[in-house]
Amino acid sequence: MSTSPPTADAIVPDSPHRESAESLLRWAIAVLELDATDAADGRTVIALAEEDREAFGGREQVVAAPAESAAGDEQPLAVDSLLGAWLLEKLRGRDGAAHARPAGQPMSVGDVSTKLFPAYTVDGGQFRLAGCQLTDHPFLRLTFPGTTDDPQLRHVFVAPDGSSVSEELVGRLGLNDLAAAGKPTPRIDEAAIRSLSSAGRRIAAKSSTRRDPSARAIDPLATTVAWVRHAEGRLLFEIGESSEELAFSGWARLLEPKPWTARRSGTATFHLAATDSGEIDAAEEMAVCQQSGRRVLREDLVTCSVTGRHVLPEFTEKCPVTGRPALRSEFAVCDQCGQRVSRAALEESLCQACRDMTPVRKDDPRLAWIMGEHRGLERWNRWRLAETETVYIARADGLTKRLLAVIDKESLAVRRLATAGRFAPGWVDATKAQQTELLH
Ligand SMILES: [Zn+2]
């Protein structure tokens, strides 16, 4: 280990993650889980294990003290003291690195549940974790010495893939607050540590304020593998016989409840419910059919154009005049064209189409089409026409008589044929014989 000031060739990396040597060494005492007791004036008494005594001349304990006030046989908390060197060596352990974890990161499946569960509500059902896999991933922290002018130590972080870790992510993952890794420590082979360490040195060289392409970073004082826990799994929502899933994946510490997106409505929600037919969707999308009382999806209901009630389409019919649905009970027959129309289109027993008939010339394409099928109608003049979604309503005014023809738009079949006196109020349906005569 070299603790001498950096030579001209080696550079000290620049990093926003800094701490004093004393702070690092106190951290080492904690992470190594030494038998340490805090005493007055920042002193820490370390009771040495049998095998550690030789390094300190056979003593049973050492007193660690702040470097500036260490006196007598107290050991200064400095990287170049006997205690400092010994702690750094011990940190290096068997594989060359200390092992630690971000303090307070979720470790168990229970911790993950605690983070996710409070966000969800399932009406009339329940939810649980259906599979949750927790894995540990090695981030590396390289700790470099400072300079004579600026003795703070500098940490450089490396992600498991060898890339640098943004300052923001260091904070979010808790890499600046590392605790002992605990047992059992996840395994990593030395080659992997070396490879991450090389990546870290390249990052350190690049992050230096000196822009020298041949520059290399000085050797790190300490290397720490920070084990970051990753969680991956599924939430299972169950209502009656139906179920839906929501997958999650991410660093355990950063896990946040995500909304579930309903299959049919496409609504993203934390609140799930089911229709009466057992379809799970967003509770916000549930609605009740005002005719049947059934719980369904809002998008499955239509609005009755007469009553304004929200009902299932099966209780409605489309009005041929307005083109809008209405409850079956809200239909009546028009006195003139004989169509079943919604009450919204009726006024004084006449549908809107019959009320709004417009004069047309005999060569109007619609009229010409009708006459092509029913030649007899050509004998009539002064036509008026209206149309609904399904029929043409045509009326001709003669000198003594009027004629009404209601013709199916698709088949041109006659739905109603009637006549009336010039000034008589009502229509009289033509008999079969009269029909033949009128149409041919
Ligand atoms: Zn009508």
Query: What's the pLDDT tens digit per position in 166-178?
Result: 999 999 999 999 9
The answer to whether the Cα torsion of 20, 25, 29, 32 is positive or negative is positive
pLDDT at residue 214 in the model: 66
pLDDT at residue 94 in the model: 81
Residue 168: inside a domain: yes
pTM, entire model: 0.76
**Whether 100 and 138 share a structural domain:** yes
Domain region containing 142? 10-104+134-230
pLDDT at residue 182 in the model: 83
Residue 406: inside a domain: yes
pLDDT at residue 67 in the model: 92
Q: First-to-last CA distance in the chain?
A: 116
Picking from 268, 301, 300, the residue whose alpha carbon sits closest to that of residue 283 is 268
pLDDT at residue 227 in the model: 97
Window from 84-93, 177-186, 209-218, 364-373 with minimum mean pLDDT: 209-218
Mean pLDDT, the chain, as a whole number? 92
- Ligand 1 center from residue 353 Cα (angstroms): 6
Residue 28: inside a domain: yes
**Whether 334 and 388 share a structural domain:** no
**Whether 48 and 187 share a structural domain:** yes
- Ligand 1 center from residue 291 Cα (angstroms): 28
Q: What is the mean pLDDT of residues 347-360?
A: 95
Picking from 226, 78, 75, 249, the residue whose alpha carbon sits closest to that of residue 159 is 226
pLDDT at residue 398 in the model: 87
- Ligand 1 center from residue 395 Cα (angstroms): 12
pLDDT at residue 280 in the model: 98
Cα dihedral angle (321, 327, 329, 330), rounded to 10 degrees? -40
- Ligand 1 center from residue 294 Cα (angstroms): 35
Residue 282: inside a domain: no
Which of 180, 197, 230 lies at the terminal end of a domain, its last residue?
230
**Residue ranges with CB less than 5 Å from ion ligand 1:** 334, 336-337, 351, 354
pLDDT at residue 185 in the model: 87
Residue 31: inside a domain: yes
- Ligand 1 center from residue 162 Cα (angstroms): 79
- Ligand 1 center from residue 376 Cα (angstroms): 23
- Ligand 1 center from residue 392 Cα (angstroms): 10
pLDDT band of 7, cuts 50, 70, 90:
very low
Side-chain-facing half-sphere of 229: CA atoms under 13 Å:
22
- Ligand 1 center from residue 319 Cα (angstroms): 11
pLDDT at residue 213 in the model: 61
Percent of the chain topping pLDDT 70 = 95
- Ligand 1 center from residue 164 Cα (angstroms): 78
Strands 35-38, 44-47: pairing is antiparallel
- Ligand 1 center from residue 354 Cα (angstroms): 4
**Whether 197 and 53 share a structural domain:** yes
Residue 188: inside a domain: yes
**Whether 340 and 365 share a structural domain:** no
pLDDT at residue 3 in the model: 46
Which of 230, 258, 289 lies at the terminal end of a domain, its last residue?
230
Specify whether the CB–CB gap between 164 and 158 falls below 8 A: yes
The answer to whether the Cα torsion of 335, 336, 339, 341 is positive or negative is negative
CA distances from 77 to 48, 81, 141, 400, 438 (A): 16, 7, 21, 123, 118
Whether 155 has a pLDDT exceeding 60, the answer reads yes
- Ligand 1 center from residue 355 Cα (angstroms): 7
**Whether 160 and 213 share a structural domain:** yes
Q: What is the mean pLDDT of residues 266-275?
A: 98
pLDDT at residue 406 in the model: 97
Picking from 182, 1, 200, the residue whose alpha carbon sits closest to that of residue 84 is 1
Specify whether the CB–CB gap between 148 and 4 falls below 8 A: no
- Ligand 1 center from residue 338 Cα (angstroms): 6
Residue 352: inside a domain: no
Q: Based on the number of CB atoms within 10 Å of its own CB, is 169 exposed (0-12), middle (13-18) or buried (19 or more)?
A: middle
pLDDT at residue 10 in the model: 66
pLDDT band of 215, cuts 50, 70, 90:
low
Write the pLDDT tens digit of every residue in 108-142. 999 999 999 999 999 999 999 999 999 999 999 99
- C-alpha span between 88 and 29 (Å, rounded): 10
pLDDT at residue 219 in the model: 87
Whether 348 has a pLDDT exceeding 70, the answer reads yes
**Whether 332 and 202 share a structural domain:** no
Q: Based on the number of CB atoms within 10 Å of its own CB, is 264 exposed (0-12), middle (13-18) or buried (19 or more)?
A: middle
Whether 2 has a pLDDT exceeding 60, the answer reads no
Please give the residue that has the higher pLDDT: either 346 or 3: 346
Token pair belonging to 27: 């951290």
- C-alpha span between 312 and 265 (Å, rounded): 17
pLDDT at residue 209 in the model: 61
**Whether 415 and 333 share a structural domain:** no
- C-alpha span between 5 and 312 (Å, rounded): 82
Which of 230, 253, 274 lies at the terminal end of a domain, its last residue?
230
- C-alpha span between 110 and 116 (Å, rounded): 10
Number of independent structural domains in the chain: 3
**Whether 158 and 183 share a structural domain:** yes
Hey, which residues does 61 pair with through a beta bridge?
A: 47
**Whether 364 and 226 share a structural domain:** no
Residue 239: inside a domain: no
**Whether 93 and 179 share a structural domain:** yes
Other Cβ atoms less than 10 A from the Cβ of 57: the count is 9
**Whether 332 and 401 share a structural domain:** no
- Ligand 1 center from residue 351 Cα (angstroms): 4
